[in-house]
Amino acid sequence: MHPASFAWALWCCGRRREEAEEVLQSAYLKVFEGSARFNGDSSLRTWFFSVIRRTATEQRRRRWLRQQLLERWFVTPPEASSAPDPEAVAASSETSRALLQALAALSSRQREVLHLVFYQDMTIEEASRILNISLGTARTHFARGKQQLRQILALTDGRKEKRA
């Protein structure tokens, strides 16, 4: 479960590796310290994924607030990079890079649903539980995201063929 959790944390943090590691550790600590409790309403994986997502959101909010306060009252803080980990980008294959670029053009909800269904092999219902949205909304995001992703990938393939 750890690899899947890390991949989800990575996704929730815009594929920034260090941030994802921190989020995952914070989520583990929440579970160990008992501040996040599993009540058996869903599967363990679904529950833990929602804990990771919530932790990532909290961390992002905290970071944003800190940045805003520092900028306003003190000095300009060292800018946290919003770009994905360059090392990971370099290590990924061309097809994966194209997929990541195409995914970056989608809305975050569409990206999350597609990740949970295609990458994590979950059902749309499980995805809707993790994202705390209705099943119908999740289905809509899934269908629209898939359609857009196909269009973007087709465009990218077309450009490659032209270059060749």
Among 99, 133, 140, 156, binds another protein (CB under 8 A): 99
CB 97: neighbour CB atoms within 10 A?
Answer: 13
Phi/psi for 10 (5° steps) reads -60, -40
Spell out the residues 6+ positions from residue 5 whose beta carbon is closer than 8 angstroms to its own: 24, 27, 48, 49, 52
Q: By CB under 8 A, tell whether 144 contacts another protein.
A: no
d(CA 77, CA 45): 37
- Choose one: 2-10, 44-52, 71-79, 104-112; the region binding another protein (CB under 8 A): 2-10
Helix or strand or coil: residue 35? coil
Query: To which residue do tokens 């992703």 refer?
Result: 149
Q: By CB under 8 A, tell whether 104 contacts another protein.
A: no
Q: By CB under 8 A, tell whether 124 contacts another protein.
A: yes
Q: Which of residues 53-82 bind another protein (CB under 8 A)?
A: 62
Position 69, amino acid: L
Q: By CB under 8 A, tell whether 3 contacts another protein.
A: yes
Among 91, 104, 105, 155, binds another protein (CB under 8 A): 91
Which residues are near another protein by CB under 8 A? 2-3, 6-7, 10, 17, 21-22, 25-26, 28-29, 33, 35, 62, 88, 91-93, 95-96, 99-100, 114-115, 117-119, 123-126, 128, 135, 142, 146, 149-150, 153
